[in-house]
Amino acid sequence: MSDFPTYIGALAADFESHFEGVLPNVTGLESRVIDAMRYAALGGGKRLRPFFVIETAKMLGYEDKGVWDAAAALEAIHVYSLVHDDLPCMDDDDMRRGKPTVHRAYDEATAVLAGDALLTYAFQIMASPKVHPDANVRLELIADLALASGHHGMIGGQMIDLTMDSHPQTQETITRLQDLKTGALIHYGVMAGAKLAGANEAQKTALSTYASHIGLIFQITDDLLDVEGDAQIMGKAAGKDESKGKATFVSILGIEGARKKAHELADEARTQLAPFGDKAAPLLGAIDFVLSRDK
């Protein structure tokens, strides 16, 4: 795939328009919280998780529009996590995707509620027959989404991150943290695409390894960006982890070591896609995209 950034950019634009239609309209005395949900969810982002849902299903020959609803449910979970992680009691960030965070644009209480509402709405979207005609597929997607985003998934990762000082500062700890905090939802995206498309066990195994590696590469490049990145390109503050003295892949492996690790993982991820032939081009492109991203 020669121009992956253009490809994923076009998909992100299509997804934005679909997501806009899936989100609730701003009505009722309770409209402020819906307004905040839409503010948080729309207007930017790479839409990497929707990309993995949609492109994995497509690679396996499945292009039903329900895949886009499943992608919207997953993205709603990702967006809620950003809203809550940005809160003053968490990472205390003022900017996100180049605009004020929800608690800055509204207020803290509205940000908590808008996050709760996006999280709740994700499950409402996923329960709809529009996602997939088979009720058992939808139930599996719901149960897996709760697992991937719950106390032993994304939320658990954020908990470890916040209490990092009390854990051993080892590569094992960082890997576990990132497997949960970032990896779980990316992994879920790939596997949701596979399940919607009815992938066989061998395909699921290969895609699961691919997805785990992508998640780790994503986090290693995040750590590299944190020490090397340009705050203006990233649209958020660089050097935050370093200034907080937090252990990262870079602090443990060094810049060169972290870069080497990311490239090794990328090679292994490519190997997993070989059986899918030419159709794997978008997922292959995603490896280099995540590896060389500058924000």
Q: Which residues sit at the interface with its own copies, rule CB under 8 A? A: 24, 28-30, 32-34, 37, 80, 84, 87, 89-90, 107-110, 112-113, 115-117, 119-121, 123-124, 127-128, 135-136, 138-139, 142-143, 145-147, 149-152, 155-160, 162-163, 167, 173, 176-177, 180
- Smallest distance, Å, CB 114 to its own copies? 8
Structural contact between residues 36 and 106, judged by C-beta atoms closer than 8 angstroms: yes
Please say which residue, 139 or 237, places its beta carbon nearer to its own copies: 139
CA distance 238 to 294: 12
Please say which residue, 3 or 107, places its beta carbon nearer to its own copies: 107
Strand-pairing partners, residue 95, are 100
Please say which residue, 1 or 142, places its beta carbon nearer to its own copies: 142
What SS3 string covers 143-200? HHHHHHHCCCCHHHHHHHHHCHHHCCCCHHHHHHHHHHHHHHHHHHHHHHHHHHCCCC
- Smallest distance, Å, CB 138 to its own copies? 6
Please say which residue, 161 or 226, places its beta carbon nearer to its own copies: 161
- Smallest distance, Å, CB 6 to its own copies? 35
Structural contact between residues 194 and 80, judged by C-beta atoms closer than 8 angstroms: no
Please say which residue, 89 or 274, places its beta carbon nearer to its own copies: 89
- Smallest distance, Å, CB 283 to its own copies? 28
Residues 74/85/230/220 CA torsion (nearest 10 deg): -60
Identify the H or E element spanning 279.
none
- Smallest distance, Å, CB 238 to its own copies? 23
